[in-house]
Structure 1
Amino acid sequence: MSLPLLGSNVQVEALPSNVIATKVHTENIADTNVTIMSQEYVDRTLVLVTEVDKIGYLVQAQVEPGEHTAEFLQNKNRDSITIPTVTLVPLFGTPPAQYTDLYALYATQIAAAICADLYSADNILGNMKPVIVGLALRQNPSSQDTPESDLDFVQERTKLERVLSALSHTRVW
């Protein structure tokens, strides 16, 4: 069976290269290249943070602002704040056993930073899109078989702060 030939009425156009808003930024943090990639979809924001050029553990973070969060942010009235919550739902993979809490901290802080960046009095109490966070952090060779309490929290905090700062270079939301 042969297919009919397409007539001259059919036009094929290339898709624009920016169909999905994407930005990538690489920064040297503690002698390691950390790459952050962000993509904006209609229903979600994707943020990948990798030190090993892999997607890694995927988790969905949903920020639910507190009842008075918008008022607090607008008026700086610290008595009226209800702390927002971030719900994490693992999607794919698992973090290394000793990094479970650290990965949860990264995902929570990244989602909260995006939520704060998107703040406006109109949408803070509305629906905030979930943030899918992919994390592939390099394990410290000396801590691979040690409990979480042996992690260098000062170094990890510094790295997290630098990642959150570098996140602004990949703003697509």
Structure 2
Amino acid sequence: MTTGLVAVAPGKVLLFGEYAVLEGHEAVVVAVTRGVKCTFEPQGSTLDFELLGPSEDDPHRRRFVDAVLARQTAPPPGRYLLDSRAMFVGPPLTPTRMKLGLGSSAASTVALCAALHTASQRGPHDRTALFETAYAAHHAAQGSGSGFDIAASTFGGLFAYRVCTDRPGPEVRP
């Protein structure tokens, strides 16, 4: 039986190439220490999700959870607490907190995918597979994007990112 676990995914800052990356050129991206934490506690026979952030009842945020769940086979029942409060600034627990542009939806998607993978006891993480699952879920929920934010939340560090036009998947180069 799986015990409780915590999965953490960092946010991102895009240093260069915001528009170039959409045309198949490189962008330079760095993961940052602010991120999203997903805590899982096995319990009961249902899936219970709690979203902590400035607007916990925002249906936009729930779309990302639903997109992740649509890509999972028999997710383990229990309580999932997705905490993105570190990605915002302002007085704690108030609706006036502001986004920092650090990729809270991408980090939330990656943290939830990682928690579900680990809770399902599917073996060690393959970061490339984690990226692909999180990218597909994020793209389904958001509808567009290059995926550099998902890459930052999955791989961390400082890297060049390019959407490949000659083969499937992106190129992530440290």
TM > 0.5 fold call: no
TM-score calculated relative to the size of structure 2: 0.30
Rg comparison, structure with higher value: 1
